[in-house]
Amino acid sequence: MLPALGLYGAGMLLVRECTAEDVVALEQAMPTGVNDRYGKAFRRQQAGGSSYLVAVRDGVLAGFGEVLWDGCRMADVRSQYPNCPEFNGLSAFPAGQGIGTALIRAAEARAENQGFRMIGLGVAEDNPNAARLYLRLGYQARTRYVDSWSYVDDAGTKHDVDDPATFMVKDLTA
Ligand SMILES: CC(C)(COP(=O)(O)OP(=O)(O)OC[C@H]1O[C@@H](n2cnc3c(N)ncnc32)[C@H](O)[C@@H]1OP(=O)(O)O)[C@@H](O)C(=O)NCCC(=O)NCCS
């Protein structure tokens, strides 16, 4: 059975499932307001639809990402990749210190532990640095699609966003 906590490096960085306390801390540090991004992900996890992973470095939250067990958030992509969870919404802070890599490794371990043979993630076409990292970690670019999402700004106005993106897939059995 997978341990609740994954330890990386010299024990200073760990990845674990998000708690209700983490949601409060994240919202305080990087507010999402009425969008309630952390709360929504946490509730999906509590309902069994995802694993919402957080990275903690020296006791401080340093990143997050959500394994969506049913696959890509966008239905057209999801239908093309059955039994392929998506690691969504990855963010690491500060960047460039191995935190994103640790989160991805932890997501892959969770997926393998659940019996999945592959995992995917979407990367925006204007994010070549992230795409390079994913390629290095064994992900292959598979399908171009439009990642549609929305947010509500401080004035209460809803904005719809369409981001050209690529779905990348890793074979966990290789
Ligand atoms: C993309 C991201 C999650 C990667 O996590 P990370 O902790 O910075 O990555 P690591 O330290 O494990 O690995 C470093 C690699 O990440 C990639 N990278 C992506 N964005 C980076 C950034 N802003 N700074 C440094 N490296 C970045 C590079 O390819 C780098 O490899 P290199 O040394 O060959 O250039 C993180 O940089 C981040 O949160 N960026 C902003 C949000 C974002 O783009 N999320 C991804 C959505 S698909």
Nearest to 148 by CA among 165, 162, 131: 162
So what's the pLDDT on residue 98?
A: 96
The response to whether residue 100 sits with its C-beta less than 6 Å from ligand 1 reads yes
So what's the pLDDT on residue 10?
A: 47
Distance (Å, whole) CA 62 – CA 161: 26
What are the boundaries of each domain within the chain? 6-171
What's the whole-number average pLDDT of the chain?
94
So what's the pLDDT on residue 49?
A: 98
The response to whether residue 32 sits with its C-beta less than 6 Å from ligand 1 reads no
Flag whether pLDDT at 52 surpasses 90.
yes
Flag whether pLDDT at 8 surpasses 80.
no
How far is ligand 1, taken at its centre, from the CA of residue 36, in Å?
A: 24
Per-residue pLDDT tens over the stretch 67-110 = 999 999 999 999 999 999 999 999 999 999 999 999 999 999 99
Nearest to 54 by CA among 72, 32, 78, 27: 27
Mutate to test the pocket of ligand 1, among 13, 57, 108, 129 (most ligand atoms within 8 A of CB): 129
Pick the CATH number of 6-171 from 3.30.160.100, 3.40.50.1980, 1.10.8.190, 3.40.630.30: 3.40.630.30
The response to whether residue 137 sits with its C-beta less than 6 Å from ligand 1 reads no
Distance of CA 9 to CAs 55, 88, 98, 102, 138, Å? Answer: 12, 23, 9, 9, 20
**What percent of the chain stands above pLDDT 90?**
93
What is the position in ligand 1's atom list of the atom closest to the CA of 65? Answer: 3
Flag whether pLDDT at 131 surpasses 60.
yes
How far is ligand 1, taken at its centre, from the CA of residue 57, in Å?
A: 16
So what's the pLDDT on residue 5?
A: 46
Distance (Å, whole) CA 99 – CA 88: 15
What band does 4 get if pLDDT is binned at 50, 70 and 90? very low
